[in-house]
Amino acid sequence: MAINYMHKKKIVHRDLKPENILLESKERGKLDVKISDFGFACFFDPENGLETVLGSALYMAPEIILKQNYNEKVDIWAIGVIAYMSLTGRNPFPGDSKNAVKQMIVEKKLDFTKEYFTRLNPDAVDFIKKMLERNVEKRASAQ
């Protein structure tokens, strides 16, 4: 997976969102996934982390919003938001403004018992839960 490769090289994207994921197919039945827009990407030091607040509000990890040091796992959070939206057709953190969305990201407890989750494969729900874990230490890695 491209994100795993980037993270092993100590690169964090910091702006993963559907618009930056491209799908290409030159052969029937074969789909290549490409990541684009590396304008916010940078190298990171696992010991010191990063602190610049940037990215698209809906896909920002709580630690960015709270202006805490962060690491590559902000990309994992964004993948969780993308998966949630792709599999449920719903926004996990709806809000009328960027500030309202950010507040929801920091405070809203996600309810995985909603009817639209019962139709999903339990492994898919588990995947989303592991990506949208607010505790960075417990959040899944790309590996």
What is the widest separation between alpha-carbon atoms in the chain?
45
**Is position 37 annotated as part of the catalytic site?**
no
Q: Which residues contact 36 (CB under 8 A, 6 or more apart)?
A: 20, 21, 22
Alpha helix ranges (H) inside the chain = 2-8, 62-65, 73-88, 98-107, 115-118, 122-131
Please give the structure tokens belonging to residue 138. Answer: 């417990």
Please say whether the dihedral angle defined by the alpha carbons of residues 100, 101, 103 and 108, taken in this order, is positive or negative: positive
Q: Cα separation of 13 and 2, whole Å?
A: 11
15, 32, 75, 96: which is the annotated catalytic residue? 15
Catalytic positions are: 15
